[in-house]
Amino acid sequence: MPNDPPAAARARLPLHWLGIAPFTIFAALFLILPTMYIVVGAFRTADGGFTLANIAGLFTASIMASYWISIKISVASAFLGCVIGFAVAAAVTLGNLPKWLRGPLLTFSGVASNFAGVPLAFAFLATLGRLGLVTVMLKSWFGINIYAMGFNLLSFWGLTLVYLFFQIPLMILIITPALDGLKREWKEAATILGATGPQYWRMVALPILFPALLGTFALLFANAFGAVATAYALTGSSLSIVPIVLFAQIRGDVLQDPHLGYALAFGMIVITGIANGVYVWLRTRSERWIR
């Protein structure tokens, strides 16, 4: 037929798909294929046979304890990150603070949310370690010995404090667009109907923001649960969280059992996958209101 496109045009590859080709290749090589390798390895023996023994090994007392510690640290850092980050973002977005603070805050948050690993651990050791700058200053100038009072950077709350350095900025980056989506008309209508400020937040703003807040909490939980470099550089093997136990199983000289390590990683993938799935689902629900 005369209106049919030429055969060469029909066979031509769409060039606009080439733009995402580098990302697709990168994701396949460094995310999808390694994940599939870990999942398969979790159900295999050393000689390549199928087994459920590696998964059953996750339910031993020591490994369950490491999962429980990781979950508690992730919940604590995610909750505190949400509360503090929300307060900061609300103050800059809806408060009476100068508008020029918003740009530097978001820029810093973008940098700090990706600042982790050995540099972050060293920064906290140099600041709040036993001979850290702030520790020495408090002891020398005010006679306050925070370590004698029970503080320990190489502990549950110490690691939680370190995680807050990137959890709070991540919360600010994610919740700021949601706060921007609160329409002025909603507050004006609530005021006209006689609602006070706390009533507006309790009955209008927070219910609308709740899916975004809960979804961000899930994302921060996954972010902390999968962090390994910061925890290992800061605490070494003194705190048995899952990433450190996983490192010991794959790279250790005494506890080396790669397939049990694959099972540990598989458990982490399941937990973080559920948390990220909850985040995506709740984020989609919240966007219906704040568009």
The whole-number average pLDDT for the span 168-193 is: 87
Q: 149-153, 215-219, 246-250: which has the minimum mean pLDDT?
A: 246-250
Higher pLDDT, 102 or 258: 102
Q: Are 177 and 290 in contact (CB under 8 A)?
A: yes
Distances (CA, A) of 287 to 181, 273, 281: 9, 21, 10
Q: How far apart are CA 1 and CA 267, in angstroms?
A: 58
Q: Taking the domains of the chain in order of start, what are their residue ranges?
A: 49-290
pLDDT for 245 equals 82
Per-chain mean pLDDT for the chain: 84
pLDDT level of residue 115 (50, 70, 90 thresholds)? confident
pLDDT for 53 equals 87
**Burial class for 276, CB neighbours closer than 10 Å (0-12, 13-18, 19+):** middle
Q: How far apart are CA 254 and CA 248, in angstroms?
A: 8
Q: How far apart are CA 58 and CA 51, in angstroms?
A: 13
Give yes or no for residue 135 having a pLDDT over 70: yes
pLDDT for 73 equals 92
pLDDT tens digits along 72-106: 999 999 999 999 999 999 999 888 788 888 889 99
Give yes or no for residue 268 having a pLDDT over 70: yes
Report the interhelical angle of 61-93 vs 156-180 (nearest 10°): 40
pLDDT for 10 equals 54
pLDDT tens digits along 200-227: 888 888 888 888 888 899 989 988 988 8
For the entire predicted model, the pTM comes to 0.83
Q: Are 219 and 174 in contact (CB under 8 A)?
A: yes
Which superfamily, per CATH, for 49-290?
Answer: MetI-like (1.10.3720.10)
Higher pLDDT, 79 or 236: 79
H/E run at residue 281: helix 258-290
Give yes or no for residue 6 having a pLDDT over 60: no
Give yes or no for residue 126 having a pLDDT over 80: yes
H/E run at residue 82: helix 61-93
- Cβ contacts of 286 within 8 Å, gap of 6 or more: 178, 208, 209, 210, 211, 212, 215
pLDDT for 3 equals 58
Q: Give strand pairing partners of 50.
A: 44
pLDDT above 90 covers a percentage of the chain that reads 20
pLDDT for 207 equals 84
Higher pLDDT, 10 or 235: 235
Q: How far apart are CA 58 and CA 262, in angstroms?
A: 11
pLDDT above 70 covers a percentage of the chain that reads 91
Give yes or no for residue 158 having a pLDDT over 60: yes
pLDDT for 77 equals 94
